[in-house]
Each structure stands twice: as structure tokens, then as C-alpha cells.
Amino acid sequence: MKKIIFTVVLFLLITQTYGQLNPITNLNWEHWYNCPNNYFRLTWNTPDISQDTLIGYNVYRNNDLYRFQSDTILNHEENGIGNCPENFLEYNSYGDFWIHVTAVYDSTKIESEYADSVYNEGTIIFISEKEQRNFRLFPNPTTGKLVLDIQNVDKIVLINEQGEIIQIFKNENQLDLSHLPKGIYLLKIYAEDNIITKKIILE
């Protein structure tokens, strides 16, 4: 009986301790291009008061820790404003990645869960208005068959909502995605010197 009571009490203590580690909310990502530089601003709200003492935040690119910080902003802006270098955007060979932030608490030295993620499309490269206007992808939403109306496609990278690369297509303008689960995906299209990112819905 004592063993059962001890187990229940231990379970309640663990639940209260870890359950009160509130996550950050309202993660917001802004990214813009002002030739020749990329600029960005990542902000979030301080979490609600928790049972433990908040000491700062861990910023992740995909599942890799980028850094720990105490501010609720990570930015690189014009006129030298910001606390982060532009190379924050240089994460992998494809450039794009998901960003999430966790709250770090003092006595437990553990992190909260993350309640939100934002997607960075990678370094912005100038694409002429004419090229953007002439580009078409249809139908979207799609049941699996996609046609890309664009010339000189080098490769197309298909990415899921978790930031994982699902498939890479080479020199193709017609894609068959019917074998994939329904959901939202990103297509990163490399055509000559341009990179175009499009969100698609697979029904």
C-alpha cells in the first residue's frame, strides 16, 4: 500500500513540475530583401507565469539548437539593428528550414514544449516580376497530378510540414504526388538562377 501511495505522489509531483512549464506563444517570422542583403525578424511572447523560473529561450532550426538567449526577439535588420548575423539563414544546402523556440526554466534545467513553428524559405533571391507573372502551377489544391508551367527547371524539392525533404525531382515539369499522404507541402523550384517556393495542398 505504501508503495502504491509513493508511486501516486511521485507521479503527481512530476506532472505538476513538468506540466507547468509553459511554452512560448505567438511566434512570428518576417523576412525581406533589400538588395544586396536579406533581413529578418523573429519575435514571440513571454510565456504565462509558470511554477518554475524562466531563464531564457532556445532557438532551433529544424531540430538543431541554434542558440540560447534571454530576449524575445532574434533579428537582423537595416542600419545595423539586430542581435543576429545574416548567416542565420544559411542552415543547409537547400537553405529552407523550420524555426521553433522553447522556454528554458531554472531549477529543472529543462525546456517547455514548442507550440508553434514558422517556416523560412531560405535566402531571398531577386526574381523578376515578369518571371513571377509567367510562372503557373496547377491544379492547386491537387489530388496528386501537378503541372508546372515554367522553363528550364533544374530540380524541384518537395518538403513536408516538418521541414523534411520527401523527394527531389530532376528536370521535370509534371509531378505525380498521388502516393503521398494528404496534407500541405512546399515545392522549392530551382530554375536557372531563380528559386521559387510554392505551397501546395494535396487532397
Q: Same domain for 9 and 80? A: yes
Q: Which of 120, 146, 164 is the last residue of a domain?
A: 120
Q: Same domain for 194 and 151? A: yes
CA dihedral 110, 113, 117, 120 (to 10 degrees): 20
Q: Same domain for 50 and 97? A: yes
| All residues at 6 or more sequence positions from 123 whose CB lies less than 8 Å from its CB, including other chains | 38, 89, 90, 95
Q: Which of 93, 120, 147 is the last residue of a domain?
A: 120
Q: Same domain for 148 and 53? A: no
Q: Residue 19: which H helix or E strand, with range?
A: helix 2-19
Q: Same domain for 91 and 54? A: yes
CATH number at residue 89: 2.60.40.10
Q: Same domain for 101 and 197? A: no
Q: Same domain for 186 and 159? A: yes
Its pTM stands at 0.57
CATH number at residue 134: 2.60.40.3080
C-alpha 185/C-alpha 124 separation (Å) is: 19
15: containing domain: 2-120
Segments in the chain below pLDDT 70? 1-20, 93-94, 108, 125-134, 193
Q: Which of 87, 120, 153 is the last residue of a domain?
A: 120
C-alpha cell at 94: 537547400
Q: Same domain for 101 and 182? A: no
From residue 119, how far is each of 62, 71, 154 by CA, in Å?
9, 20, 23
Number of domains in the chain: 2
Q: Residue 15: which H helix or E strand, with range?
A: helix 2-19
C-alpha 17/C-alpha 50 separation (Å) is: 9
Residue 113 neighbours by CB distance under 10 Å: 12
Q: Same domain for 108 and 135? A: no
C-alpha 108/C-alpha 46 separation (Å) is: 18
Q: Same domain for 51 and 31? A: yes
Q: Same domain for 20 and 77? A: yes
Q: Which of 125, 58, 54, 137 is nearest to 96 (CA)?
A: 125
Q: Which of 140, 1, 112 is nearest to 56 (CA)?
A: 112
Q: Same domain for 187 and 170? A: yes
From residue 49, how far is each of 23, 37, 166, 200 by CA, in Å?
10, 38, 39, 38
